[in-house]
């Protein structure tokens, strides 16, 4: 059992990971500024697991506040860092905001960890840092060349993590993992927690769900002329519960191992186009979902599919849930919570 700090733990991926970590017996302190999340998510995590966690409102850019959390809760065995902004389109419009939150926030967190003797971190990275890859599936050795500020910010934090790891080699060094995951979707099968974006969704599946519920008139498919089989963009979708399990096994691998910097893809290795995902969701809902093909979105690429082989070799981890389960669990959440956590 470990005592862990989870930044952004009230968010979509963070809350599902908290479920898995609590079920594994770990003790959690969660901090979140609730920019795009809600305290109710953590209350539901507690109900699902029958265990409690400590929840504090804090921003990772706030150094004094972070240090206060470390001071008051004693030594943490490790940190899982989810806190950050994640919308590609918004990052193109607001690049300085993304650099401030994602990069400066991560720097402040690493500084607080160093000051309090905590040197184990799992960082929420992203496949967007691969940009427009030369080939698919994408291995961790592929060139890093992001095409949008969101991806640039993730690449910068990975570079910072590498510098930190190299600054203190040996037995007292850092245990760091950068998890480059692809497209998390779905929800907890109970329908108690799921993705609840505030405002217009930036991600595909929440938007499909809202159109299916009648909250929005139509789904915009960004680009019908990509060099893919049906002209729509192809992505590697991963069930959020599989992703949560990946974070748990990564953390336990770091805690049990030697100082290291571990970089892993978390994905299914299977590509699904936007139109294929829409058709799968329509089969779950039982009716057609209105959509239209519109111009490509700035910062997008044609195809990203993971090569998850290294995660399987190092962690013994692989995805278990199908696209149909992703759609069914996401739809179950949406039906039970049409207003999200509100």
Cα-flanking dihedrals φ and ψ of residue 273, to 5°? Answer: -80, 165
**Digit-coded pLDDT (tens) for 204-221:** 999 999 999 999 999 999
pTM beyond 0.85: yes
Which domains, and CATH codes, for the chain?
3-186+238-267 (3.40.50.720), 204-235+270-306+322-336 (3.90.25.10)
Catalytic residue among 98, 150, 181, 237: 150
pLDDT digits (tens, 9 = 90+) for 30-68: 999 999 899 999 999 999 999 999 999 999 999 999 999
Is 237 a residue of the active site?
Answer: no
Q: What's the mean pLDDT in 2-16?
A: 98
Look at residues 163, 275, 266, 268 and name the one whose alpha carbon lies nearest to residue 222.
Answer: 275
Strands (E), 39-148: 54-57, 78-81, 120-126
**Rounded mean pLDDT of 240-249?**
98
The residue among 185, 216, 177 whose CA lies nearest residue 314 is 177
Average pLDDT, the chain: 96
């Amino acid at each position: 059992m470990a005592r862990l700090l989870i930044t952004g733990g009230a968010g979509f991926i963070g809350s599902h990971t908290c479920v898995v970590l609590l079920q594994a017996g770990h003790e959690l302190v969660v901090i979140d500024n609730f920019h795009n999340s809600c305290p109710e998510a953590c209350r539901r995590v507690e109900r699902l697991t029958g265990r409690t966690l400590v929840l504090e409102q804090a921003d990772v850019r706030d150094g004094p506040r972070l240090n206060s959390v470390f001071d008051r809760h004693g030594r943490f065995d490790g940190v899982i860092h989810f806190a950050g902004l994640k919308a590609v389109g918004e990052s193109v419009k607001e690049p300085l905001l993304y650099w401030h939150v994602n990069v400066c926030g991560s720097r402040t967190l690493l500084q607080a960890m160093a000051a309090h003797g905590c040197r184990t971190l799992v960082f929420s990275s992203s496949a967007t840092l691969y940009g427009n890859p030369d080939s698919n599936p994408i291995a961790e050795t592929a060139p890093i060349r992001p095409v949008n500020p969101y991806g640039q910010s993730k690449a910068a934090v990975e570079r910072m993590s590498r510098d930190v790891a190299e600054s203190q080699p040996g037995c007292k060094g850092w245990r760091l993992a950068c998890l480059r995951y692809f497209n998390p979707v779905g929800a907890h099968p109970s329908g108690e927690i799921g993705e609840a974006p505030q405002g217009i969704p930036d991600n595909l599946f929440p938007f499909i769900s809202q159109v299916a519920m009648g909250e929005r008139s139509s789904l915009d498919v960004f680009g019908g002329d990509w060099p893919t089989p049906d002209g729509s963009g192809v992505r590697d979708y991963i069930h959020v519960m599989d992703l949560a399990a990946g974070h748990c096994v990564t953390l336990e691998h770091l805690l049990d191992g030697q100082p290291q910097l571990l970089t892993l893809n978390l994905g299914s290795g299977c590509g699904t186009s936007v139109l294929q995902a829409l058709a799968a969701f329509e089969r779950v809902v039982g009716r057609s979902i209105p959509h239209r093909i519109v111009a490509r979105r700035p910062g997008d690429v044609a195809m990203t599919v993971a090569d998850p082989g290294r995660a399987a070799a190092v962690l013994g981890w692989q995805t278990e849930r199908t696209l149909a389960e992703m759609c069914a669990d996401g739809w179950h959440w949406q039906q039970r919570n049409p207003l999200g956590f509100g």
